[in-house]
Chains A and B, each alone.
Chain A
Amino acid sequence: MRAGSPLQRAGSGAEAKFQSGACGEKADISQRREQAMALLEVKNIHKTFDELTVLNGVDLTVNKGDVVAILGPSGSGKTTLLRCINFLERADGGTMVFDGRTVDMAHADKKEIREIRSHTGFVFQNYNLFSNKTALQNVTLGLQTARKMPRDKAEEIGMEMLRKVGMADRADHYPSQLSGGQQQRVAIARALADDPEVIYFDEPTSALDPELIGEVLEVMRSLAASGITMVVVTHEMTFARDVSNHVIFMEKGKIVEEGPSKEFFAHPREERTRTFLRMVGNRTAPNGTGIVS
C-alpha cells in the first residue's frame, strides 16, 4: 500500500514487498502484511465537493489481515476516502480492485456496490444504530433482509456477535437505553455479523466521552488480534501505533506519508508528519500515551 508514490502506482505485490522490505526493521505484523494478498486496491481516487477538492489522487492497498490506520488533521479527506471506498460517497474518479473484481468507482452500478458491500462492514462515528430496533435486531436486521436468513439463525449469529463485543446482556435494549460506548460496540457487532472481508471504521471513538473510549478500543484490539482486516480512520495515536501494522498520513486530499506503523511513529520522514505527531503527541502526553520519541 505505497499510496501516492509513483513506484507504487505501477504496483505489483513484488514491488510492494521490496519497498516495505527497504524500510528497515519490521514488526511481525508487517511481515504478515508483505506475504498477504491484496484484498483491496484503490487507485487514483478523486473527489470534489462543489469547488472543493477533497481527494486528489489517493491510492490505497489493503492486504488480508491488515490493520490500516488513516491519520491526518480534520479536513484532510480521510473520512471521505473511507466513505468513497464503501460508496457512501460517489468518487469522481478512481478504480478499485476488491477481492479480484475491478470496479470503476465513478460509475459502479447498484449491483456492483451491493456486491462489494456484502463483503464489507462499516462503523460510523455516530454509531448510526437503527433507533427503532433493539441491539439484537440491529445486528440481525441485515441478515434477515439482505441475506434472507431465517430469524432463529440470524438471532443465533446476532447473539454470538453481541457476546464478542460484550453486549449480550443488553440484547433487548434500544439504542436510546445504551451509552455511547455500548452503542458503538453494538455497531461493531452489526458490522461483524455478515462475516465481512474488511471492516471500515470512521473515527469510531471521536463522538464518545473520554471514559467510554477504552471499551470500544478494547473491542477493536481484540478484533485486530483475531486477524480481521480493518481500515481505521482515527485520532487515537496509541491505537494506531500499537494495533495497526500500517499507517497512512493524509493532508489536503493527498497521502503525505505512509509506512509500517512502527517505522512511521519512530522515524517519520516528512516534516509535516513530524509536526502533526508532535502536536497530537503533546496533547496525549499527559496520559502517558505520548507517541513521539
Chain B
Amino acid sequence: MSSDVIQLLIQSFPRILLPGLLMTIPLTLIAFALALVIAVITALIQYARVPVLRQIARFYIWIIRGTPLLVQLMVGYYGPSAFGFHPNGFTVAVAVFAINEGAYCAETIRGSIEGVPKGQLEAGSCVGMSYMQIMWHIVLPQAFRTAFPALSNSIIGMVKDTSLASNITVTEMFLATRQIAGRTYQFLPLYLEVAFVYLIFSTVMTWIQRWGEKKLSRYEGRQPVAARRKRS
C-alpha cells in the first residue's frame, strides 16, 4: 500500500466516522426505539386477540416482511412527493426503518410474550392487578429478557442497513465514503475503511448486549443478589 493511500485513509477516517456518529448512530437509535414501541403494541394486539386491530397487525407484518427495505425507503421518499410533500431524507429514513424493524421485532416480542408461563398472569390477576398492569410489570419484563438476544441481533443488523439510506440523500457513513471515493478513485481502500468503522460500531453494540444480558438475567442466577437494601 502506497503512502498516499495510507495518507488518504488517515485523512478520510474522521470524515467517515463523523457522519457515522452524527447520522448512522442517531438514525439507528431513534428508529429502533420507535420500532420497539411499534413492535410491543403490535405484539400485544395479537397476543390479546383484539379483533380488527389484530387483522391490521397481521396485514402490516405481511406487507413489511414481504417487500425489500430498499423499496420501502424509495416508496417512503418518493411517495409523499406525489401529494406535494417533500420530506427530508433523514425523517423518511427514521420512519421507514422504524416501521420495517417494528414488523420483525413484533414477531420476536410476540413469541417471547407467549413464552411467559400462564401461571404468571394468573398470579397477577389473583392479587388484583389489571390486565395492563400484569403486562407492564410482569409479562413484558420477562418477555423482554427472552427477546433481548434476538432484539440485539435486530439493532446490530439495523446499524448496517442504515447504509441503504444513502439512496434517499441521507449523508450517513456509506454515502460520505462514496463521495470521498468518487473524488479520489480509491474505492477499495475506502470501502474497507468504512467496513472497519461499521465493525467497530457492531462490536461496541455486542459489548452492550453482553452487559445488558447480564443485567437482565440478575433474577435468573443462583447467586443471591448482594443485598442492596439492608434489613434487620
Q: Which residues of A contact B (CB under 8 A)?
A: 86, 88, 114, 117-118, 120-122, 124, 126, 128-134, 141-142, 145-147, 159, 168-169, 171-177, 187, 190-191, 193-194
Contacts and interface: CB of A to CB of B under 8 A. Distances in A.
Given A146-B130, A146-B133, A173 B123 contact: no
B231 A129 contact: no
B222 A177 contact: yes
11 contacts: A120-B126, A129-B123, A132-B219, A141-B137, A142-B127, A171-B229, A172-B227, A172-B231, A174-B221, A177-B223, A177-B224
B119 A128 contact: yes
B68 interface: no
Interface string B212-228: 00000011111111011
Contact of A88 (B122, B142, B219, B227): B122
Interface string B91-122: 00000000000000000000000000101101
Contacts of B221: 174, 176-177
Interface of B: 117, 119-120, 122-130, 133, 137-138, 141-142, 145, 218-225, 227-229, 231
A47 to B, nearest CB: 16
Contact of B231 (A117, A147, A168): A168
A131 B219 contact: yes
Contact of B120 (A130, A173, A177): A130
A142 B228 contact: no
Contact of B225 (A117, A169, A174): A174
B231 A159 contact: yes
Contacts of B218: 174
A145 B145 CA distance: 22
Nearest to B227: A172
A61 B133 CA distance: 32
B133 A145 contact: yes
A124 B119 contact: yes
A221 to B, nearest CB: 22
B127 A190 contact: yes
Contacts of B223: 177
A142 B129 contact: yes
A129 B122 CA distance: 10
A132 B145 contact: yes
A257 B67 CA distance: 66
A141 B127 contact: yes
Contacts of B124: 130, 142
A222 to B, nearest CB: 21
A170 B120 CA distance: 21
B202 to A, nearest CB: 29
A187 B219 CA distance: 17
Nearest to B136: A145
A235 B220 CA distance: 31
B120 A142 contact: no
A146 B119 contact: no
Most buried by B among A86, A147, A173, A176: A176
B128 A172 contact: no
A197 B133 CA distance: 23
B145 A118 contact: no
Most buried by A among B124, B127, B231: B127
B119 A194 contact: no
A132 B122 contact: no
A177 B227 CA distance: 13
A128 B120 CA distance: 6
Most buried by A among B125, B126, B220: B126
B222 A176 contact: yes
